Amino acid sequence: MIQASDVTGAILAGGRGTRAGGVDKGLLDVAGEPAVVRVARALQAQVGRIIVSANRNHAAYKALGFIAVPDARPGFEGPLAGIAAVALASDSPWLLTVPVDCIDVPAALRATLGAAAADGVDVCVAHDGERRQPLFALYRRECAARAAAHANDAVWRFQDLQRCRQVTFPAGTLFANRNTVDRAPC
């Protein structure tokens, strides 16, 4: 079993925020607090440490008490660049990724994914019963660090190149985002 102390939580907040009018989604208000704070609270008991992947507003994240790391190269390359940046800033053997715009992080995300991380598996990724949720994943840190070489690829394609295991979550588990009113899966 993978313990919380062996895992760094990576909150992926490094995007352009195009669907949110160009604003930093990590700093958007959710019920009176920044989204990053809400996501971090959901992750806190599941991980030993939290690092935010952010390509702007580092002072704002620092003021909220977070370590924020940018992608290695400028230009908002995508989630894989953020995953690699957090992996390089982490000293934990595992990295648990969640997107900042999905504010309903499952309480048993690490435990459920971690239970499947055996037999040399490099990445365990959530599946909601209908489709893969590629940004909700548990990576061996070495695997996550390799993501930089695939920064312009889709996350699921990178995962498929690794020793990857999909883990189906119980019906009703939310992987909802703030991009749609109907709380569509991420």
Provide the residue range defining the domain that includes 95. Answer: 4-168
What one-character DSSP code corresponds to residue 169? P
In a domain, 178, yes or no: no
In a domain, 174, yes or no: no
Q: How far apart are CA 153 and CA 52, in angstroms?
A: 21
Domain total of the chain? 1
In a domain, 97, yes or no: yes
Looking at residue 41, its pLDDT comes to 93
pLDDT grade, residue 99 (50/70/90)?
Answer: very high
In a domain, 159, yes or no: yes
Which parts of the chain are beta strand (E)? 7-12, 29-30, 33-34, 49-53, 67-69, 94-99, 123-127, 132-140, 164-168
In a domain, 62, yes or no: yes
In a domain, 106, yes or no: yes
For residues 174 and 152, which has the higher predicted lDDT (pLDDT)? 152
Q: What's the pLDDT tens digit per position in 86-95?
A: 999 999 999 9
Rounded to two decimals, what is the model's pTM? 0.89
- CATH code at position 138: 3.90.550.10
In a domain, 177, yes or no: no
